[in-house]
Chains A and B, each alone.
Chain A
Amino acid sequence: MGERGEEWEAVMLRKAEEEESKAVKKVKLVTSDGVTMEVEISTVKEMETIQAFMNATDTDNSIIFPLPKVSSHILSRIMELMSGEYDQELVKRLSHEELKEICMVANYLNMKTLLHLTASAIANLIQNKSVEFVRHFFNIINDFTPEEEVQLRKTHEWAFEGVDED
């Protein structure tokens, strides 16, 4: 009876240790300004770039992942968006600079939901804007000659006349 009890205890202890090591396993993200942010492994699941790295290096130790292109400010914004389940309202409150940075990071870390959300928010900024506005907005050089441009603008004219821009 006594022996079996000890055996039982030993099994439970081993199980608890295993579970602890699983639960404790965290990822440390080091931002460009030297801040280390410890995040749950579940958080990283959406960051496919990091996930792929973790799958490749199957280690029990906690992982340190440097993010030389991401500032701590942007990373904490991303965490807010993730915990807020990507609420559109949270996106609207971002400054344009934050929006652009988050979009770039989402692309870099291959975070599909976040990339989708930010890219469509940026698209909304140029929705129904003129060619001139968009050139200025993205700082794009017009590489058409004036003659070409006049001709090209006529190309789709018939398709849109009298139609509300949507």
Chain B
Amino acid sequence: MKKNTQIIMKNFSATPRSSSAPSMDPKIWSKLPPEILEYILSFLPLKTFLNLRSTCKGFWSLIFSPSFISKHSSPSSSSSSSPFSSFLLLSHPQFHRHFPLYDCTLGTWRNISLSLSDSSLHSCPSLTTLVSSGGLFCLSDSLSCSLLVCNLLAKSSRTIQYPSFSLHLEHLTFVTTPTGYTIFVLCSQAASNSAFVYDSNVRTWNRFHGFGPVLGDNHHQQGVFFKGGLYFATPEPFSVVIFDLGSGKWEKPVGGLPSQLTFVRLVSDGEGKLYMVGGVGNNGISRSIKLWELGGDGNWVEVQSLPDLMCKKFVCVCYHNYEHVYCFWHEGMICICCYTWPEILYYLVSRRTWHWLPRCPSLPLKCSCGFKWFSFLPNLYASV
């Protein structure tokens, strides 16, 4: 799909355009050699240039020219170098094919929501099970038995066939790495189940043994990527299991979990810390909600308790039913969500404070449940 990178300059003698300012004199700046024009444009901040992308077809395809990619795709994945805001994206049945965006950099809801207007996404109405990581999203289409990985900023996507024809994929986990991405799924067929891992660098699925006991009680919770493995919390009796992405082996960590847990969710900051969010109480009723961090010795160290009032609200929101609770990491925030509630409870790690993310203003007052939230860090050069 080679695009035309030619930039057509007008012949100025043929187009007598009135120009008031001397700086606008097209006679000066027309007919710059294309390589110089490209070099000049590469000095613009990426965001400024994206605004100018619709100048002509040549400009449109320039952002994928080698000089632009080397200039604008910084090797570090730190958000400070990204010219884009970081977003929390809300998927809700009442917003068909578009997603309200909460701008975490500005701390507001955006007026414009992100829509999947791309024709390739439009054509499959059966897309479900969205998962996200970094700038990429992974959608599952059960009709065509395929996964779709897409970069919504670059408008690029790739279709990946399911690893088996089993219609039941579980624990779809999607992890972006500096060199690409990894997809993990569990497929259960009859009595046995298998784990499949897709590596974007080699573009193939690898099959490994599945895990006997049930992994997690909640299909909104992804496996958590930490130190080369995927961490899962099992339902009662609560435990943590690790799937080593390199060897494909299942392991159990050494340390035990705190006692009197009512639910357990894991979150990784992606840089070397693994957190656990859990309720503490009796008979499935949480008296408090706590945050732990995995210590070097494999034990869980308590970091904070959720303040009482917030805890009361949270357990009310869940009706003491924690099946719908799922957690994820987003730019220094530990987000604790409930599938049935339109607000996110989050913990700001740097400030050690808890907050509720304001409800999306475009949601109707009475709306059905089905709140799925995703971390979204737009990255033009995250390749699919």
8 Å CB interface, A138-155 against B: 138-144, 149, 152-155
Total A-B Cβ pairs within 8 A:
137
Contact residues in B for A154 (Cβ distance below 8 Å): 117
A58 in contact (CB, < 8 A): no
Interface pair A138/B9, CB less than 8 Å apart: yes
Contact residues in B for A11 (Cβ distance below 8 Å): none
Rounded to whole angstroms, the CA-CA distance of A159 and B46 in the bound complex is 12
Tell me, rounded to whole Å, the shortest Cβ–Cβ distance linking B304 to chain A. Answer: 32
20 further A-B pairs in the complex, CB-CB below 8 A; given A128-B48, A141-B8: A96-B29, A119-B36, A123-B40, A131-B52, A134-B52, A136-B19, A137-B29, A138-B7, A139-B31, A140-B58, A144-B56, A152-B54, A152-B60, A154-B117, A155-B53, A156-B50, A157-B112, A158-B110, A162-B103, A163-B85
Picked from B28, B35, B59, the residue with its CB within 8 Å of the CB of A96 is: B28
Picked from A107, A125, A127, A158, the residue with its CB within 8 Å of the CB of B114 is: A158
B209 in contact (CB, < 8 A): no
When C-beta atoms are compared, the residue in chain B nearest to A138 turns out to be B29
Interface pair A138/B26, CB less than 8 Å apart: yes
Given A96-B25, A127-B48, A159-B378, do A142 and B55 touch, yes or no (CB 8 Å)?
A: yes
Rounded to whole angstroms, the CA-CA distance of A124 and B43 in the bound complex is 8
Rounded to whole angstroms, the CA-CA distance of A161 and B52 in the bound complex is 15
Q: How large is the interface on A (under 10, 10 to 19, 20 to 34, 35 or more residues)?
A: 35 or more
Picked from A96, A152, A157, the residue with its CB within 8 Å of the CB of B23 is: A96
B17 in contact (CB, < 8 A): yes
Interface pair A138/B85, CB less than 8 Å apart: no
B214 in contact (CB, < 8 A): no
Tell me, rounded to whole Å, the shortest Cβ–Cβ distance linking A152 to chain B. Answer: 4
Rounded to whole angstroms, the CA-CA distance of A137 and B32 in the bound complex is 11
Contact residues in A for B33 (Cβ distance below 8 Å): 104, 107
Contact residues in A for B383 (Cβ distance below 8 Å): none
Contact residues in A for B113 (Cβ distance below 8 Å): 158
Given A107-B33, A158-B110, do A166 and B54 touch, yes or no (CB 8 Å)?
A: no
Contact residues in B for A135 (Cβ distance below 8 Å): 55-56
A7 in contact (CB, < 8 A): no
Given A119-B39, A123-B40, A160-B47, do A143 and B56 touch, yes or no (CB 8 Å)?
A: yes
Given A96-B23, A137-B26, A140-B8, do A131 and B55 touch, yes or no (CB 8 Å)?
A: yes
6 A-B pairs with CB atoms under 8 Å apart are A125-B23, A139-B10, A141-B9, A144-B57, A158-B101, A159-B50
Interface pair A115/B39, CB less than 8 Å apart: yes
When C-beta atoms are compared, the residue in chain A nearest to B152 turns out to be A158
Tell me, rounded to whole Å, the shortest Cβ–Cβ distance linking A138 to chain B. Answer: 5
Given A119-B36, A123-B41, A162-B103, do A100 and B55 touch, yes or no (CB 8 Å)?
A: no
8 Å CB interface, B87-111 against A: 101, 103, 106, 108, 110-111
A122 in contact (CB, < 8 A): yes
Contact residues in B for A152 (Cβ distance below 8 Å): 53-54, 60
B30 in contact (CB, < 8 A): yes
A165 in contact (CB, < 8 A): yes
A103 in contact (CB, < 8 A): yes
Tell me, rounded to whole Å, the shortest Cβ–Cβ distance linking A59 to chain B. Answer: 32
When C-beta atoms are compared, the residue in chain B nearest to A115 turns out to be B39
Tell me, rounded to whole Å, the shortest Cβ–Cβ distance linking A154 to chain B. Answer: 8
Rounded to whole angstroms, the CA-CA distance of A110 and B351 in the bound complex is 51
Contact residues in B for A144 (Cβ distance below 8 Å): 54, 56-57
When C-beta atoms are compared, the residue in chain A nearest to B106 turns out to be A162
Given A141-B56, A156-B153, do A96 and B22 touch, yes or no (CB 8 Å)?
A: yes
